Structure 1
Amino acid sequence: MSDIFSGFFSGFADLVARLAEVLQPVFHTTATAAAIVLFTMVVRLAVHPLSRAAARGQKERARLAPQVAALRKKHAKNPERMQKAVMELHAKEKVSPLSGCLPSLFQLPAFFLMYHLFSTTELGGEANALLGHSLLAAPLDGRWHDALGDGGVFGPAGLVYLALFALVTAVATFNYRRTKRQMAANPLPAPGGADGQTMPGMGAMTKFMPLMSFMTLFTVAVVPLAAALYVVTSTTWSAVERAVLYRDVPGGAGAVAPAM
C-alpha cells in the first residue's frame, strides 16, 4: 500500500515539474509557483459544476424559506417534529441542505496532496526535487516562521508572505461583508423551546460565522508556502465565483460556506 501511495505522489510531482517546465519561459524562477496556481485553477474549474449545483440548491432553499418558517412556527414546541417536517419538505422538493459543502469537500484531497508534496524530502526513494524551488525569495517548502528567522517580517521572504497576507485579508474582508449582508437578509433560524427563548449559543455563533473567512490567514501562516498558494488561489476563486453565482440571491447567499 505504501508503494502505491509513493508512486502516486511521485507521479503528481512529475506532473507539477512538467507543468513548471512549460511555464518556465514566461515565469522563469517562479515557474513552479505558477504551476501550483494553475493546478489550483484547474481543480476549481473541475469542481465548478458542484459549485453551480450548490448555488441552485441555495436558491431553492431561499425559495422554500417561507414554508420552512411556517413549519418552525407550527412545531415550535416539538423540535424533533419540526426537524423531521423540514427534512421531508427538502426531500419533497429535492433540495439537499448539504450541497453547499460538496465543493470544499472535493478540494480537500488536492490540498493535502500539495501539502504532502512539499513536506516530504523523498518521493519514490529519490530526493524531492521540488523542494529546491521558490516564489521569489521564499522557498515553496518553507513556512512563515522560517521567513521570520531569515530576514524578519520585512526580509525578502517575509515580504512574499506580507503580500499573501494582504491578498487574503482583502478577500476575507470581501467575504465578511457579503456574509454579514447574507445573514441580515436571511437570519439563521433559532428554534426555541416552549417558552419561545432562542437556543443557547446561537447569538455567539451568529457573530462568529462572518469572521470565519479570516481563518485563512492562520492557514497561510502555518502550512508550506506551496500549500498556502493553493489556499490563497482557491479562496480568491471562491470569492469571485460566489459573487457571480449568488448575484441574484438576497444578501449574496453562499458567502457563509467554507471558502477553500
Structure 2
Amino acid sequence: MDIFAFPPLTLLLDGAYNALHWLAGLLEPVADGASAALAVALVTLLVRTFLIPVGVSQAKAEQMRARLAPKMRELQKRHAKDPERLQRETMALYRDEQASPLAGCLPLLVQAAVVGILYTLFLRPEIAGHPNELLTHDLFGAPLGTPLLSAAGGGIDLATGVVWAVVLLLIVIVADITRRVFRPQVPAEGPLAAPGMLGMMNALHYLTAVFAVFVPLAAALYLVVTVSWTLVQRALLRRRYPLPS
C-alpha cells in the first residue's frame, strides 16, 4: 500500500518537491551541479532554526531530569516490586515538579518526518504523477537518490565511494565528540549500572551512521548537518542550563 497515494500526503509530498526543486534552481548559478545538495543543507538549517525554541525546552528537560534523578532512584528502590505504584508515583513526581516526562521529544518527531520526506523525494521516480527531476542531481558525481547499500550492490564508482566515505566519517566524528562531551550520568546502582550497559549507551551515538547507509545520499546529507547542529547547540545550551553536580 502506497501511503502517499492518500490525497493529503500526495499534496504534502508534491509541495515539498516543488519547494526543494525551486530552491535547487535558485542555487544553481552558485552551486552548479551541487545545487540540490546545497538546497538539502539549507532546508536542514531552516528546520533546525525553527526548532531552536524546542531545543531550549529539551535542555531544560535534561536539566530537570538530572535534578530529579535522586528522587527517581529513591522511588525505584521503594516500589521495585510494585510497577504500577512506581508508575503512579513517578507521574505524581513530574506533576508536582510541573514537568513532563515527554519533554524534548518534539525535535525527534520533526526530524523523523523531514528524513522520511527526503527519503521519499529521492527514491520515487514520479511525484504526484510527474517525473522526479531531483533524481538527476548529484554531489560531486554521487547520485543524491542512491543509498550506499544500493550503490555498493551495483558496483560503486570512485566518486560515489569518496563522497559517501566523507559523509559517514563526518557523522562518526560528530558522534564520537558527542559521546565524549556528553557522557551519561550513570548511577552506582540500578539497571544502568549493569556491566556492558554503559558500552551499549555509548554505541547508540553511532546508530545515525548505521541508519545513513540505508537512506539516499540526500537524506544522509540531512543527517550530517543536523547532527553537527545538534552538537553545537547542545554545547551552547549546556553552558546556559548546566546539570547539577
Q: Give your verdict on TM over 0.5.
A: yes
| CA shift for structure 1 position 202 | 4.7
Structure 2 counterparts to residues 1-260 of structure 1, below 5 A: 2-76=6-80, 78-148=82-152, 149-152=154-157, 155-179=158-182, 181-183=183-185, 186-187=186-187, 190=190, 202-247=194-239, 248-250=241-243
| CA shift for structure 1 position 188 | 8.2
Whole-Å Cα distance in 2 between the matches of residues 82 and 146 of structure 1?
A: 47
- Cα pair 1:165 1:217 within 8 Å, conserved: yes
Whole-Å Cα distance in 2 between the matches of residues 174 and 150 of structure 1?
A: 32
Whole-Å Cα distance in 1 between the matches of residues 141 and 244 of structure 2?
A: 41
* Number of corresponding residues: 239
* 1:156-210 deviation line (CA, Å, top 9, x unaligned): 111000110110110110122234x333xx43862xxxxxxx59x9544433111
Whole-Å Cα distance in 1 between the matches of residues 81 and 151 of structure 2?
A: 57
Structure 2 residue runs of 5 or longer lacking an equivalent are none
Whole-Å Cα distance in 2 between the matches of residues 105 and 188 of structure 1?
A: 32
Distance 1:251 1:20, change over 3 A: farther
Distance 1:142 1:16, change over 3 A: same
- Cα pair 2:66 2:244 within 8 Å, conserved: no
* 1:76-103 deviation line (CA, Å, top 9, x unaligned): 5545433422221111111112213221
Distance 1:251 1:226, change over 3 A: farther
| CA shift for structure 1 position 232 | 1.6
Structure 1 residue runs of 5 or longer lacking an equivalent are 191-197, 253-260
Distance 1:77 1:117, change over 3 A: closer
Whole-Å Cα distance in 2 between the matches of residues 124 and 251 of structure 1?
A: 52
Output the amino acid matched with 2:173.
Answer: A
- Structure 2 partner of 1:255: none
Distance 1:188 1:210, change over 3 A: farther
- Cα pair 1:178 1:251 within 8 Å, conserved: no
| CA shift for structure 1 position 115 | 0.5
Where has structure 1 moved over 6 Å in runs of 4 or more?
none
| CA shift for structure 1 position 116 | 0.5
Whole-Å Cα distance in 2 between the matches of residues 87 and 7 of structure 1?
A: 40
What's the TM-score, normalizing by structure 2?
A: 0.86
Output the amino acid matched with 1:68.
Answer: M
Output the amino acid matched with 1:22.
Answer: L
Output the amino acid matched with 2:211.
Answer: T
Distance 1:101 1:188, change over 3 A: farther
Whole-Å Cα distance in 1 between the matches of residues 132 and 188 of structure 2?
A: 48
Whole-Å Cα distance in 2 between the matches of residues 66 and 145 of structure 1?
A: 45
Alpha carbon RMSD of aligned pairs, Å? Answer: 2.5
What's the TM-score, normalizing by structure 1?
A: 0.82
Whole-Å Cα distance in 2 between the matches of residues 73 and 143 of structure 1?
A: 47
Whole-Å Cα distance in 2 between the matches of residues 12 and 73 of structure 1?
A: 50
- Structure 2 partner of 1:257: none
Whole-Å Cα distance in 2 between the matches of residues 2 and 77 of structure 1?
A: 47
Distance 1:175 1:59, change over 3 A: same
